[in-house]
Structure 1
Amino acid sequence: MVETGPAADWARKQVDLGRVPVAVLGIASSQGIEDVVAFGTDGGRQATADHHFALFSVSKPISAMTVMRQVELGKLSLGNALSDALPGFGAGRTDTVTLEHLLSHRSGIADPALDGGTPLREDLTSAEQAFYAGSLVQYCNIAFEGAAAMAEWADGRPFEEQLLSLASDTGASGLTFSTECNPHTIHGTEAAGLNVNGMYRKKHPGAGLFGTATDLLNLGSELLGETGKAVRPATLAAMRRPRTTEVSHITTRPKPLRHTGLGFQLPANQSELLAQGIYGHPGWAGTEWWMFPEQDRCVVFLTNVLDTPDLGVDTTELFNAVAVS
């Protein structure tokens, strides 16, 4: 296993500088996994390539692809209304929240806490309106529970079963909503006011998955190869199409600004990047999953600390290291 090169050196540096206690860095191409390296120790636990990590919002594009499989089958449309699938949603709203709105953070649903004690579906049906659907962009976790409800309405199977089917089809069979996988402990939860175990219990389609580097690299390899095992090439192209470039953003973290497709995020700071056309998603605990179609590269970075950009972890450096790897 090769443990040198710009991307691996970048990952090692995050541990050496004390920004994160552990890091797993993986690279794949459309032909398969090329390298996975692990650095650091946390509480006496040496990081290894096969460890599970809490993916947080890296869950979103995986959930989005699961839902888009129903669109491919003609069972759902991006224009379908959430209220059709979930009649209890949106009482008093005069707008229509569609599947496209849900997957692109334009739903106007006020996001409840990730770790509340009520079931997610109740959180969704009781959520207040933040703005008229489609008029603004505001990052929204609960919207992915809405998308999951629409997939269940279309297919009849529980959403978790649908997602695990996608995982099995793409060599990502380690993906799970269960803590029985023994994921690494998340640091920074007290400062953030997050009851992480409460969040885990919700099995949140927008934030609740656990996975290994191998899971994400295998899935990324399938996307780069456009094999159709996850979603068809035309579907992936639609998911990568930016839908928020001309819409005002409501955000508490202005940088790095990212545009949104359907579930996937797209870097907006392309003038700072050596590669173009990057798509993927970050996660709150420092997790990163990105595809570089021009370079035929997928990169996975897994760690376990909330708000890593505030600690000096700069993914622009990672993106440029991957572009030349």
Structure 2
Amino acid sequence: MMTTGPAVDWARKQVELGRVPVAVLGIASSRGVEDIVAFGSDAGRHAATDDHFALFSVTKPITALTVMRQVELGRLSLAAPLADSLPGFGAGRTDTVTLEQLLSHRSGIADPALDDGIPLREALTSAGQAFYAGSLVQYCNIAFEGAAALAERAAGRPFEEQLLALAADTGAHGLTFNTESNPHTVHGTDAAGLDVQAMYKNRHPGAGLFGTAADLLNLGSELLRDSGNAVRPATLAAMRRPRTTEVSHITTRPKPLSHTGLGFQMPANQSELFAQGIYGHPGWSGTEWWMFPEQDRCVVFLTNVLDAPEYGVDTNELFNAVAAS
């Protein structure tokens, strides 16, 4: 059991300093899961290594991997227009929104609230236009419902069924959109004005998955070994290719902290990091899933606090601890 080391000490510190009530940290390599540790308790519930957490946007790269399986099979193109699967989408738009733009936050779709209660396909079909597709970058959750719609049309079966097949093929058997998995309660939702139960009901392909550390570590291990069990090596390389470095971002931050590939993010602040080539994704609930190809490491950090960085949770510290260990 891994009880010491820079990454473990970092995770323990987040709980001891009261930044988060619980934390689960896991490390894997291309050989498989190395270890998982859990810290803290929340309302009498002690964190355990096999607990489910609400992954929020860590869902996005898993959805992207699922969709890209259809692309590598020749059933779907990155240039495929969303209107092919949703004929009512984009009424009045003069541009074309493609799968590539949906997966890289360049669709120009005005993003509805995660909890507005409108069925996702209906919300997507009626969504407004924020900018001409491809001209800017703006983070967009509903775009991943569009990617799911394209994958459904290509495969001829429900998207959730396709995602669970990916999970089964990669040892991520606990991934689910069901709240029966007993995930930890997410804190900060009232302050953020988020009806999290309404969001869960939508089974959102951009934010709705629940999972355990082992699920993400097993999937990450498959990606590190480039086994082809998730997607083929050429597909993964395409997903890791930054597609937003030369495009202006609409953001509340002075500059973006990450570049975007197809579903995956890559840190833009590489001068502050020991490792190069990191890819993965954070989640609003404080979740983190990242691959370090040069170090042959996957790290998972699971917790349950919205906007955790505002409470002092600094993932640059974690990244450097993983890279150096």
| TM-score of the pair, normalised by structure 2 | 0.99
In the other structure, the counterpart of 2:239 is 239
Q: What one-letter code is carried by the residue in structure 2 that aligns with 1:56?
A: F
In the other structure, the counterpart of 2:79 is 79
In the other structure, the counterpart of 2:203 is 203
In the other structure, the counterpart of 1:125 is 125
In the other structure, the counterpart of 2:46 is 46
Q: What one-letter code is carried by the residue in structure 1 that aligns with 2:48?
A: T
Q: What one-letter code is carried by the residue in structure 1 that aligns with 2:162?
A: Q
Looking at structure 1, the residues matched to 246 and 213 of structure 2 have their Cα atoms a distance apart, in angstroms, of: 34
Looking at structure 1, the residues matched to 228 and 277 of structure 2 have their Cα atoms a distance apart, in angstroms, of: 19
Question: Partner of 1:250: helix, strand, or coil?
Answer: coil
Question: Partner of 1:161: helix, strand, or coil?
Answer: helix
In the other structure, the counterpart of 1:111 is 111
Unaligned ranges ≥5, structure 2: none
Looking at structure 1, the residues matched to 271 and 122 of structure 2 have their Cα atoms a distance apart, in angstroms, of: 43
**Do structure 1's residue 26 and structure 2's residue 21 form an aligned pair?**
no
Looking at structure 1, the residues matched to 73 and 201 of structure 2 have their Cα atoms a distance apart, in angstroms, of: 31
**Contact 1:256–1:269 (Cα < 8 Å) also in 2:** no
Looking at structure 2, the residues matched to 255 and 38 of structure 1 have their Cα atoms a distance apart, in angstroms, of: 34
Q: What one-letter code is carried by the residue in structure 1 that aligns with 2:181?
A: C
Q: CA deviation at 1:87?
A: 0.4
Q: What one-letter code is carried by the residue in structure 1 that aligns with 2:151?
A: A
Q: CA RMSD in A?
A: 0.7
Cα 1:3–1:281 change in 2 (3 A) is same
Q: What one-letter code is carried by the residue in structure 2 that aligns with 1:259?
A: H
Q: What one-letter code is carried by the residue in structure 2 that aligns with 1:273?
A: L
**Contact 2:19–2:311 (Cα < 8 Å) also in 1:** yes
Structure 1 range deviating more: 176-185 or 254-263: 254-263
Unaligned ranges ≥5, structure 1: none
Q: How does 1:1-325 map to 2 (within 5 A)?
A: 1-254=1-254, 257-325=257-325
Q: What one-letter code is carried by the residue in structure 1 that aligns with 2:128?
A: E
**Contact 1:57–1:283 (Cα < 8 Å) also in 2:** yes
**Contact 2:249–2:256 (Cα < 8 Å) also in 1:** no
Q: CA deviation at 1:2?
A: 1.5
- Cα deviation, 1:26-81, whole Å, max 9, x if unaligned, reads 00000000110000000000000000000000000000000000001101000010
Q: CA deviation at 1:254?
A: 4.0
Q: What one-letter code is carried by the residue in structure 2 that aligns with 1:91?
A: A
The percent of aligned pairs where both chains have the same amino acid is: 82
Q: CA deviation at 1:85?
A: 1.2
- Cα deviation, 1:102-140, whole Å, max 9, x if unaligned, reads 000000000000001110001100100000000000000
Q: CA deviation at 1:252?
A: 1.4
Looking at structure 1, the residues matched to 162 and 78 of structure 2 have their Cα atoms a distance apart, in angstroms, of: 18
Looking at structure 1, the residues matched to 286 and 251 of structure 2 have their Cα atoms a distance apart, in angstroms, of: 19
- Cα deviation, 1:268-309, whole Å, max 9, x if unaligned, reads 000000000000000000000000000000000000000011
Cα 1:256–1:42 change in 2 (3 A) is farther
Question: Partner of 2:122: helix, strand, or coil?
Answer: helix
Looking at structure 1, the residues matched to 222 and 155 of structure 2 have their Cα atoms a distance apart, in angstroms, of: 24
Q: What one-letter code is carried by the residue in structure 2 that aligns with 1:89?
A: F
**Contact 1:56–1:285 (Cα < 8 Å) also in 2:** yes
Looking at structure 2, the residues matched to 88 and 109 of structure 1 have their Cα atoms a distance apart, in angstroms, of: 14
Question: Partner of 2:101: helix, strand, or coil?
Answer: helix
Looking at structure 1, the residues matched to 133 and 143 of structure 2 have their Cα atoms a distance apart, in angstroms, of: 12
Q: CA deviation at 1:256?
A: 6.0
Q: What one-letter code is carried by the residue in structure 2 that aligns with 1:53?
A: F
Q: CA deviation at 1:141?
A: 0.2
**Contact 1:24–1:301 (Cα < 8 Å) also in 2:** yes
**Contact 1:50–1:213 (Cα < 8 Å) also in 2:** yes
- Cα deviation, 1:173-212, whole Å, max 9, x if unaligned, reads 1000000000000000000000000000000000000000
Looking at structure 1, the residues matched to 111 and 100 of structure 2 have their Cα atoms a distance apart, in angstroms, of: 17
